[in-house]
Structure 1
Amino acid sequence: MWRLLLLTLCLTGLAPLAQAQTLSWQACQGVAGPSGPVLSDCRPVQGVVDPQGRELWIRATIKAPDDSRARAVYVSGAASSEVWLNSRQLGSNGRPAQTAQDEVPGRYQAIFPVRETAWRPGANDLVLRLSSFHGGLRFDGPMTALVVRPFPYPQRTALLAITFVAAGTLLAAAFGFGVIHAMRRTGSSLVLAAMAGVAALQAIVESLRALFNYPYPLHAWRMSAIWGLAAAFAVLLVSYVAARYWPKASRLMIGVALIVISATALAPGFDVKTVLALMTGVILASVPAAIGVRDRRPGARPTLAYLAFFLALAIGFPQWLADLSFFLLAAGLVLPLLMVEVVRLGRDDRGREAALTEAVSLPDRLTVASARGVELAPLAEILAVVGADDYVELRMVGGRSLLHAARLEGLQSQLPPGFLRIHRSVIANLAHVQRLERDGTSWRLHFSEGPPLPVSRSRQPALREALEISSIARSV
């Protein structure tokens, strides 16, 4: 855990190096002339640059670089854009316009390299034309970057690599818990599989900007998905902790979590929504964890300590919570639980093997191993055994059935002579057979109860002979 904290502190210390250089912008009335933009009535931009639902011309005065490094104008945001430097057009991203019909949506991120000959000594005039009619949702800060930086700008490959490692780890954990749920049908393993899968999906969606330069109208869907996945993880976290450490109040805690976490959708800004959803889930999950500590439930103390660490890190470094910390902390939570669950399964399997060994000496019963444990099924109550891949279904008297972790071929040798293989996937108990009946071109065997079962043509002679012998034996 201390390594995780050290890594987060180091990454946070590097954050100022990656912050964008801001420019002083003016909003103007403008038109595109034959020799460049023609601007008038320029006024300082109050607040954020916001082209949503309109065409917006902005300008800034920048100094020529004092070194020979190449430069580019970086534009990131939910808008189409065109860029000019000293009346020379650097390029366009989509096609900004005065109406939604005329606008061609651009990419969310655009880079406009600046040729060395475009600069002039001293002050330089940078002009952008923006419009955003297809954003879908209204953002409080639609433009995330309007800066001039060295070109090419270093990518945060270390952050991206860590996010992908966390995502891969979480997907593996989701698969592991899914397998455990298939074997044991435990609710906790299903919730943990969902938690790991949701966190992995959020890591992938969070990284889309670095992997895929998508059209800006998709940004609203991406941000909504990030908040939705964060909210789902928070609700699942509360559900898991409450069911484990305060089960009598688990429904109440889940209901409260659904209401309170859903309310974070009303917060301004998607980053705030996401961080609030995660922090709310952690705070709510801390309540049943604290109850578990009070009641001395196993595992409650480390769970509460981990949640407190998560919360302290979120409060201390909120800017890194959605980008990195959440995925690492989610992986750090579910992986130890997966290891504990695997160890517990190993112990359960050893106990089941001991029970099977003890029960093997009972000749009138079949020892059934299933996800629920070990059960003794009386042979006289078995109507038929139906194969299903690596399992068999025991159809019992009274309409119930049992799943047995065995193959039909291996089970056939354990059953007494009163059981006969009538099909490649069926073994019948002749004591419960009523009649053999033709059904078109095929044959079916009827039992004292339950549906009939098919009989293969190659096994009919042996079945008829066995039924005759059984009939003679009953008449005697």
Structure 2
Amino acid sequence: MWRILLLTVFLTGLATPVLAQDLPWQACRGAIGPAGPVLSDCRPIRDFIDPQGRELWIRSTLGAPADTRPRVLYVGGVASSEAWFNGQRLGANGQPGATARAESPGRYQAIFPIRESAWRPGGNMVVLHLSSFHGGLHFARPMSAIGIGPYPYAQQIVPLAVTFVAAGTLLAAAFGFGAIHAMRRTGSSLILTAMAGVAALQAIVESLRTLFDYSYPLHAWRMSAIWALAAAFAILLVSYASTRFLPKARRLMTGLAIGMVGATVLLPGFDLKTVWALILGAGLAALPAAAGVRMRVPGAQPTLAWLVLFLTLALGFPEWLADLSYFLLAAGLVLPLLMVEVVRLGRDDRGREAALTRAASRPDRLTVASARGVELVPIAEILAVVGADDYVELRLVGGRSLLHAARLDGLAAQLPASFLRVHRSVIANLSQVQRLERDGDRWRLHMREGAPLPVSRSRQPALREAMDVPPPAMTAVAP
């Protein structure tokens, strides 16, 4: 686990920080004239470019490049765009307009090539026409990047590859925990299945911007999904830690996590929402883990160490949490837990085999195998055995019942002669019978406690003979 976590810090320094050179921009009043854009009343943009719910004209001036490498204008954000360079139209991404009806939504990312002949020795003017009427949600910073840079620009290959590896690892862990849950039906394995699956799905959604050139209105759905998945992981993390180390406070901690993590939806900016959802989840999960360390619960100490490291990296490098380090940290948690669970299941199986061996020498008891383990049940305490698909239900004295992983036919051969099959799905313990009674055109076998059992017509003669009861024509049955 420590190798994976240290790899997170190392890979943080390998990623490409920017795709293109940012430019100082001015917002203007603009219109398209015969010779290109006509701008007036230009003022510097001191904060950020925001075309949401309006039509926006912006311009910037830059010098000529020092080399002859091809250059492009890179525009990424929630907007349709149209670009000019020194009065020459570079192209359009969708079609910006003054209203939603006039606008045709473009892609979230667009690249406009700049011909080498278009550059001038002195100043060069870039003009952008933007609008955003189909974003769906209001973004705190709608434009991720607008700038000019070399082409092809440096791709973020290493972070993307690492994210894919982490996603594959998390999917494999989800499958492993799902298989464990199918065999053992434990609550912790189900939670870990969901945690690994949610983290893997978020890694896939996070990579969509690099892999697919989607339309900008879909960006709101993508960012909403990223926050929702991060919030789900955070809540599941708290639920797992509480279930594992402080079960008495599980409902309280899970409810607290739902409230606090859910409140991050009110924060500005989806990156901030996502980062704080994960930070709050890890912080709340650290409380039951710390309690487990105090009570010396096995596994609490490494879990707490992982959570502390998670919080340290999240608070120290928040800009990398949602994009890269979170997926590595999630994989670093679920993989060791999967290995521990596999080892524990092996020990449980060996213990079950030993219990079955010991039970073979106890003919007065029935060895009941279920998802939770093995229990030796005194045969005298069994009222009836009722078939339930591939399982049987053992109805016991005192109102208790157990599910036994056995078939009714096989179990009938194991039980002593005091047990008789009275229905195709029922075996009754005759030593616990009170009476046989008519119920309309049907018969019911009343036991010393519990609900009466159905009796089929074909099995009535054998039952009457075993109970030493005359047939109906010879005796009256009590109403």
TM-score (norm 2): 0.84
Change beyond 3 A, Cα 1:249–1:61 = same
Moved more, 242-251 or 231-240: 242-251
Task: Give the match for residue 343 of structure 2.
Answer: 343
C-alpha separation in 2, matches of 1:345 and 1:67: 64
C-alpha separation in 2, matches of 1:387 and 1:178: 24
C-alpha separation in 2, matches of 1:155 and 1:196: 28
Which amino acid in the other structure matches residue 264 of structure 1? T
Which amino acid in the other structure matches residue 348 of structure 1? D
Task: Give the match for residue 84 of structure 1.
Answer: 84
C-alpha separation in 1, matches of 2:346 and 2:438: 46
SS of residue matched to 1:24: coil
Within a 5 Å distance, the mapping from 1:7-22 to structure 2 comes to 7-15=7-15, 17-18=17-18, 20-22=20-22
C-alpha separation in 2, matches of 1:436 and 1:386: 23
Task: Give the match for residue 395 of structure 2.
Answer: 396
C-alpha separation in 2, matches of 1:475 and 1:435: 14
Task: Give the match for residue 152 of structure 2.
Answer: 152
Which amino acid in the other structure matches residue 122 of structure 1? G
Aligned residues of 2:5 and 2:329 also touching (Cα < 8 A): no
Task: Give the match for residue 212 of structure 2.
Answer: 212
Moved more, 132-141 or 167-176: 167-176
SS of residue matched to 1:274: helix
Task: Give the match for residue 67 of structure 1.
Answer: 67
Which amino acid in the other structure matches residue 235 of structure 1? I
Within a 5 Å distance, the mapping from 1:307-318 to structure 2 comes to 307-318=307-318
Number of residue-to-residue matches in the alignment: 459
Within a 5 Å distance, the mapping from 1:203-352 to structure 2 comes to 203-352=203-352
C-alpha separation in 1, matches of 2:204 and 2:468: 72
Per-residue Cα deviation, 1:202-229 (whole angstroms, up to 9, x for no partner): 2122111112222212212221222222
Task: Give the drift of 1:122.
Answer: 3.3
SS of residue matched to 1:29: strand
Which amino acid in the other structure matches residue 378 of structure 1? I
Moved more, 375-384 or 341-350: 375-384
SS of residue matched to 2:21: coil
Moved more, 221-230 or 282-291: 282-291
Moved more, 228-237 or 258-267: 258-267
Which amino acid in the other structure matches residue 25 of structure 1? W
C-alpha separation in 1, matches of 2:3 and 2:173: 21
C-alpha separation in 1, matches of 2:351 and 2:371: 13
Change beyond 3 A, Cα 1:451–1:215 = farther
Change beyond 3 A, Cα 1:47–1:472 = closer
Change beyond 3 A, Cα 1:11–1:427 = same
Change beyond 3 A, Cα 1:407–1:121 = farther
1:378 is aligned to 2:375: no
SS of residue matched to 2:329: helix
Task: Give the match for residue 99 of structure 2.
Answer: 99
C-alpha separation in 2, matches of 1:289 and 1:475: 63
Which amino acid in the other structure matches residue 285 of structure 1? A
Which amino acid in the other structure matches residue 104 of structure 2? V
Percent identity over paired residues: 63
Change beyond 3 A, Cα 1:153–1:451 = farther
Per-residue Cα deviation, 1:313-371 (whole angstroms, up to 9, x for no partner): 22222221111111111111121112112211221222122112222344454322001
SS of residue matched to 1:73: strand
Moved more, 337-346 or 295-304: 295-304
Q: CA RMSD in A?
A: 3.2
Change beyond 3 A, Cα 1:436–1:356 = farther
Task: Give the drift of 1:53.
Answer: 0.8
Change beyond 3 A, Cα 1:156–1:50 = same
Task: Give the drift of 1:60.
Answer: 1.4
Task: Give the match for residue 178 of structure 1.
Answer: 178
Task: Give the drift of 1:413.
Answer: 5.1
C-alpha separation in 1, matches of 2:443 and 2:207: 59
Aligned residues of 1:76 and 1:145 also touching (Cα < 8 A): yes
SS of residue matched to 2:253: helix
SS of residue matched to 2:311: helix
Task: Give the drift of 1:76.
Answer: 0.7
C-alpha separation in 2, matches of 1:380 and 1:242: 37
Moved more, 413-422 or 131-140: 413-422
Q: Structure 1: give runs of 5+ residues left out of the alignment.
A: 456-462
Per-residue Cα deviation, 1:175-196 (whole angstroms, up to 9, x for no partner): 3223333333333222222222
Which amino acid in the other structure matches residue 393 of structure 1? V
Per-residue Cα deviation, 1:363-391 (whole angstroms, up to 9, x for no partner): 45432200122232638846455363xx3
Which amino acid in the other structure matches residue 387 of structure 2? V
C-alpha separation in 2, matches of 1:130 and 1:204: 30
C-alpha separation in 2, matches of 1:165 and 1:447: 62
C-alpha separation in 1, matches of 2:336 and 2:161: 22
Task: Give the match for residue 460 of structure 1.
Answer: none
Aligned residues of 1:412 and 1:427 also touching (Cα < 8 A): no
Change beyond 3 A, Cα 1:329–1:397 = closer
Aligned residues of 1:242 and 1:250 also touching (Cα < 8 A): yes
C-alpha separation in 2, matches of 1:403 and 1:197: 30
SS of residue matched to 1:14: coil
Between the two structures, name the one with larger relative contact order (CA 8 Å, sep ≥ 6). 2
C-alpha separation in 2, matches of 1:111 and 1:292: 53
Aligned residues of 1:78 and 1:219 also touching (Cα < 8 A): yes
SS of residue matched to 2:13: helix
Task: Give the drift of 1:475.
Answer: 4.1
Change beyond 3 A, Cα 1:419–1:436 = farther
Task: Give the drift of 1:307.
Answer: 1.5
Task: Give the drift of 1:416.
Answer: 5.8
C-alpha separation in 2, matches of 1:180 and 1:262: 30
Change beyond 3 A, Cα 1:328–1:470 = same
Aligned residues of 2:177 and 2:338 also touching (Cα < 8 A): yes
Aligned residues of 1:368 and 1:377 also touching (Cα < 8 A): no
Change beyond 3 A, Cα 1:249–1:428 = closer
Aligned residues of 2:20 and 2:153 also touching (Cα < 8 A): no
SS of residue matched to 1:216: coil
Change beyond 3 A, Cα 1:314–1:430 = closer
Per-residue Cα deviation, 1:425-466 (whole angstroms, up to 9, x for no partner): x575696897999x9xxxx9976566759x9xxxxxxx95x7
Moved more, 302-311 or 51-60: 302-311
Change beyond 3 A, Cα 1:201–1:451 = farther
